[in-house]
Every structure is written in structure tokens, then in C-alpha cells.
């Protein structure tokens, strides 16, 4: 998984990690610090940082496999975009009632998007 994926996992499941896991993970994936820099900041060895990150990554992957928040969020975003695209097409309808309904659909989809 790439850094963006890891950051998303941290956003969703970070509250279930220990403070040390969260801090280490944040420094690596959000602040882009090296293992040495993280070790220095936390007062531990590079190897300890590497081990912590490996365990935390595995834990976050298991959480995602079991709970699926990131996957569900991506599916929801795609569905909302599809709804907005369809509403946009409907707004061009010559039937006077359709554009108003399309705007209501688009407004509801925007609420989901936020």
C-alpha cells in the first residue's frame, strides 16, 4: 500500500491504535520522516521504529479487511459522483418537472459527498 492508503487507514482506524503507534505512523506517513528521524524523536532505535511500523501496518490492514471503512468510503464516493452525473443530465430535460427534481437529487447527493 502507498502512503496515501496508509494515511487513510490511519484517519479511519487511528483511534484504535496506541498513542505510540499513532505518533510513529503519523511521523512516517503524514510527516514523511525517516526511520532514523522518528527513532530520534521517540527516543528509540531505527529497528524499533521499523518493527512498530510493520506491526501497525499489519494491524491497520486487518482492521480494513474486517471493517472495510476505506472501501465503503470509496464506493460511496463513486456512487455519489454517478448520482451527480445523472442529475446533471436530467437537469437538461425539456420536461419542466424534471430539472427541479434533478436539482433536489443533486442537493441530496452533495450532502452525502460532504
Give the Cα separation of 83 and 67 in Å (integer).
Answer: 25
Q: Mean pLDDT, to the nearest integer, of 17-33?
A: 94
Contacts for 59 with CB less than 8 Å, ≥ 6 apart: 17, 21
Q: What is the model's pLDDT at position 1?
A: 59
Report the percent of the chain where pLDDT is more than 70. Answer: 99
- In tens, the pLDDT along 46-98 reads 999 999 999 999 999 999 999 999 999 999 999 999 999 988 888 888 888 88
Q: How far does Cα 55 stand from its chain's mean position?
A: 20
Strand, helix or coil at 21? helix
- In tens, the pLDDT along 44-59 reads 999 999 999 999 999 9
Residue identified by cell 442537493 is: 107
DSSP code string of 23-44: HHHHHHHTS---HHHHHHHHTS
Amino acid at each position: 500500500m502507498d502512503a496515501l492508503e496508509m494515511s487513510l487507514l490511519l484517519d479511519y482506524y487511528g483511534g484504535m491504535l496506541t498513542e505510540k503507534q499513532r505518533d510513529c505512523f503519523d511521523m512516517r506517513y503524514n510527516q514523511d520522516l525517516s526511520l532514523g528521524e522518528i527513532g530520534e524523536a521517540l527516543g528509540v532505535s531505527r529497528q524499533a521504529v521499523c518493527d512498530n511500523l510493520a506491526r501497525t501496518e499489519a494491524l491497520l490492514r486487518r482492521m480494513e479487511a474486517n471493517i472495510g471503512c476505506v472501501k465503503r468510503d470509496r464506493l460511496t464516493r463513486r456512487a455519489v459522483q454517478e448520482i451527480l452525473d445523472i442529475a446533471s443530465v436530467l437537469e437538461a430535460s425539456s420536461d419542466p418537472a424534471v430539472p427541479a427534481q434533478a436539482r433536489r437529487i443533486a442537493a441530496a447527493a452533495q450532502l452525502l459527498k460532504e
